[in-house]
Structure 1
């Protein structure tokens, strides 16, 4: 036997071979773990907002047009307002008998934090109709 027998031999030398199977198993498991987790180490998420071909949104008297520029300024139907003023207007609109639809336009470089604050303020005011407005794609020549 490779490990020795039950009888005592005076000539039996200690085993000098290293069993490599457990070491290889551990290395293969570590390799699989690193292969799976390596794509998760990237910190930057590239996010390109879509350009879609959709019918233009209809404007009604109950439509609120909110726009956000690159600097995070909020425009209510074309007029600059602060976040607190917007929350107050949302509260007034939420109390109305017929709730308005909010159409949100955001510049490509707008921080998501500002958009999340607007969505949260609308939800707190009880406004449920929120739509995102995108730019139409550029026309393709020859089509």
Structure 2
């Protein structure tokens, strides 16, 4: 228990205040440990990148099609997303004046998410000759083949 000293050097009454210095020391030590343990936040941006050449032949007019089961096709050949990206990158490597046309034709019952991702894939690959085709089949909303 701490006592207060008077001016005369004699001890006075006991202090009624609590000594919080050890409490603050422990809190600061815990804070430093938490700062050291918590990992540094890193920002990750996942960008799909081509990892090879396209496997299918590149024609003058190429068709990217999505069927009602959300499967991707390049000129009738079924592909996954990475293979389609590789194929699109191969088309984008062709010089601009001679670059072939890539046409996009989703099925009426293809999901919007798959269609939007395919369009973003085509856009991000750097293709400039791009067209939507087949929309005239769906002039009336809700009608599918």
Superposition TM-score, scaled by structure 2 size? 0.49
Higher strand share: 2
Superposition TM-score, scaled by structure 1 size? 0.50
